[in-house]
């Protein structure tokens, strides 16, 4: 079983890297960690959709994984999610892929540039079509919104809330797009670091979100396959 695990920043995946570095054998030429029949490659893609798409596509071509797993933190529109909670993202959409007409926004689907069901989209969304066997029982399923600028003002939050997504990140849609296009089974898992509200870093639970997402990786992923 070959698993490619990706994160936007080293901070979001460092504890997992430390764990497999101590408990797995490493092929330094291929940057792959081995244990029994399991091979794990870890890639830090950088922040944002362009960097994520570039690195994930390249790593899939290089490693030909059986499963890709993206982990990281996310802000939550859905206040029923707890700060620090770990969730899996079933589907993704872009927040700002379209045109502004004075005060109105129209996405690329509604103006006819892209068909809502043009591969890899399903009804405008990038839906995980591979039933992920690695989702543990009880982990909540959410919808993701990918942004180029993190929501931090009331006007922006009000507009984006209309899209009815539970969480936002800066990479999720790019990851889904590449994996769906390459027909590679995948799973996106996020730790909730903050609620989407006017920017207030004092209320964030970044450390807790990072700890919990890595605890999930360490306790579950290496032993599930």
What tokens were used for 197?
A: 């509200």
* Residues with Cβ within 8 Å of residue 141, at least 6 apart in sequence: 87, 88, 89, 90, 135
Q: Which DSSP letter does residue 11 get?
A: G
Segment 84-112 mean pLDDT = 91
Compute and round to an integer the Cα radius of gyration of the chain.
Answer: 17
End-to-end CA distance of the chain: 7
What tokens were used for 174?
A: 């790019």
User: Higher model confidence: residue 204 or residue 119?
Assistant: 119
- In degrees and rounded to multiples of 5, residue 22 shows phi and psi of -90, -25
Whole-number pLDDT of residue 36: 87
Which pLDDT band holds residue 138 (cuts at 50, 70, 90)? Answer: confident
Per-residue pLDDT tens digits for 13-59: 999 999 998 989 987 766 789 988 899 999 999 999 999 999 999 99
Segment 195-206 mean pLDDT = 87
Asked if 58 and 181 count as a contact pair (C-beta separation under 8 A), the reply is no
Give which of 159, 138, 164, 137 is closest to 149, Cα–Cα. 159
Query: Is pLDDT of 70 > 90?
Result: yes
Per-residue pLDDT tens digits for 140-195: 999 999 999 888 788 888 888 888 999 999 999 999 999 999 999 999 999 999 99
Query: Is pLDDT of 101 > 60?
Result: yes
User: Higher model confidence: residue 105 or residue 54?
Assistant: 54
Question: What pairing do the DSSP bridges indicate for beta strands 32-35 and 38-44?
Answer: antiparallel
């Amino acid at each position: 079983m070959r698993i490619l695990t990706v994160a936007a920043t080293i901070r979001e995946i460092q504890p997992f890297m430390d764990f497999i570095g101590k408990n797995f054998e490493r092929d330094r030429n291929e940057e792959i960690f081995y244990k029994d029949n399991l091979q794990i490659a870890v890639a830090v893609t950088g922040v944002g959709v362009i960097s994520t798409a570039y690195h994930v596509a390249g790593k899939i071509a290089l490693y030909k994984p059986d499963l890709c797993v993206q982990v990281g933190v996310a802000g939550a529109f859905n206040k029923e999610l707890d700060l620090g909670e770990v969730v899996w993202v079933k589907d993704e959409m872009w927040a700002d892929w379209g045109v502004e007409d004075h005060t109105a926004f129209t996405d690329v689907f509604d103006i006819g540039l892209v068909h809502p069901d043009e591969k890899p989209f399903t009804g405008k969304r990038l839906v995980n079509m591979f039933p992920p066997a690695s989702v543990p029982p009880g982990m909540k399923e959410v919808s993701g919104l990918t942004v180029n600028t993190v929501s931090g003002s009331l006007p922006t939050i009000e507009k984006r809330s209309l899209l009815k997504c539970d969480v936002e990140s800066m990479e999720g849609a790019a990851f889904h797009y590449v994996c769906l296009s390459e027909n590679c089974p995948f799973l996106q898992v996020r730790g909730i670091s903050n609620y989407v509200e006017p920017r207030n870093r004092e209320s964030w639970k970044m450390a807790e979100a990072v700890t919990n997402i890595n605890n999930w990786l360490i306790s579950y992923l290496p032993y599930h396959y």
